[in-house]
């Protein structure tokens, strides 16, 4: 399999499995864990591939039930999309934003801290009101990048968020999230990041951002599981935290 957009290769392998084993419309496909073992790839890659096939209309995911064939034939499914898998994107954000947070801790100003507090207040108000608006969340992350005083880093962060906002796979994943408690947990993460920035502790800022995005990844993994609603996020492969 290629190293670029690996989930696309996995999606093609899944099409081969469906075709070669003669699955009919309405048939339940093997669970993620079995597909992962059969293809010798991580479950996160299998999940990203299944999200893409769901967008293409080839499969239907039923929460707590399984994955079912929904299209007549894999050959009639739309062409592979040039989309970025949500977990691939989260990994990139974790690597970039943890470094940005560390640098921001060295460069941050009093005005930056004030604006970040205002962003968290927007986030808190939206959560309490039951709003689906995530602008406070995005603003907080962007303000951290701005605190580096480096426009290139701000542009890099903006590009990652743009890719997220334009990703059909990311949108599909979020349609499976119904519990708003995760937003309160992420707000607590943001408060930890802000505390590290306020004290200009670059080590703590890096660690807090790294852990926050690890929590995001784990939450999305757990809440989007199509085979076992009680599946624990720690079973998924994840990159190690920096020393």
Q: What is the pLDDT of residues 176-219, one digit of tens each?
A: 665 567 888 999 999 999 999 999 999 999 999 999 999 988 87
| Same structural domain, 125 and 186 | yes
| Same structural domain, 176 and 69 | no
Give, in degrees to the nearest 5, the angle at Cα 193 between 104 and 178: 130
- In this prediction, residue 224 carries a pLDDT of 55
- In this prediction, residue 5 carries a pLDDT of 67
- In this prediction, residue 103 carries a pLDDT of 98
Where among 29, 45, 76 does a domain terminate?
Answer: 76
- In this prediction, residue 3 carries a pLDDT of 41
Q: Are 7 and 45 in contact (CB under 8 A)?
A: yes
Task: Count CB-CB contacts under 10 A for residue 53.
Answer: 28
* CATH code for the domain in which residue 20 is found: 1.10.10.10
- In this structure, is residue 1 part of a structural domain? no
* CATH code for the domain in which residue 219 is found: 1.20.120.530
Q: Are 58 and 17 in contact (CB under 8 A)?
A: no
Instruction: List Cβ neighbours of 230 (8 Å cut-off, separation of 6 or more).
Output: none
- Give the domain range for residue 197: 86-235
Q: Specify the number of domains making up the chain.
A: 2
| C-alpha span between 49 and 9 (Å, rounded) | 8
| Same structural domain, 65 and 136 | no
Where among 76, 98, 117 does a domain terminate?
Answer: 76
Angle of the 43-55 helix axis to the 32-39 helix axis, nearest 10: 110
| Same structural domain, 60 and 127 | no
| Same structural domain, 205 and 101 | yes
| Same structural domain, 71 and 172 | no
Residue 229 pLDDT > 50, yes or no? no
Q: For the chain, what percent of residues have pLDDT higher than 90?
A: 37
Helices (H) and strands (E) in the chain, counts: 10, 2
Where among 76, 101, 129 does a domain terminate?
Answer: 76
């Amino acid at each position: 399999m290629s190293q670029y957009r690996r989930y696309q290769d996995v999606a093609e392998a899944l099409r081969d499995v469906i075709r070669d084993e003669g699955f009919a419309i309405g048939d339940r496909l093997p669970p993620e864990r079995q597909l992962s073992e059969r293809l010798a790839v991580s479950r996160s890659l299998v999940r990203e591939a299944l999200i893409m096939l769901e967008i293409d209309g080839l499969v239907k995911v039923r929460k707590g039930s399984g994955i079912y064939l929904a299209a007549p034939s894999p050959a009639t499914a739309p062409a592979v999309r040039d989309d970025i898998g949500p977990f691939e994107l989260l990994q990139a954000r974790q690597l970039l934003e943890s470094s940005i947070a560390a640098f921001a801790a060295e460069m941050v100003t009093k005005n930056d801290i004030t604006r970040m507090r205002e962003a968290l207040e927007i986030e808190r108000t939206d959560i309490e009101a039951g709003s689906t608006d995530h602008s406070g969340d995005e603003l907080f992350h962007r303000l951290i990048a701005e605190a580096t005083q480096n426009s290139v880093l701000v542009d890099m962060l903006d590009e990652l968020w743009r890719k997220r906002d334009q990703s059909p796979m990311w949108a599909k994943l979020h349609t499976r999230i119904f519990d708003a408690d995760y937003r309160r947990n992420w707000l607590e993460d943001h408060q930890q990041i802000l505390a590290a920035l306020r004290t200009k502790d670059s080590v703590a800022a890096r660690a807090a951002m790294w852990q926050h995005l690890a929590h995001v990844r784990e939450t999305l993994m757990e809440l989007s599981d199509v085979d076992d609603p009680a599946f624990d996020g720690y079973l998924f492969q994840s990159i190690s935290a920096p020393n």
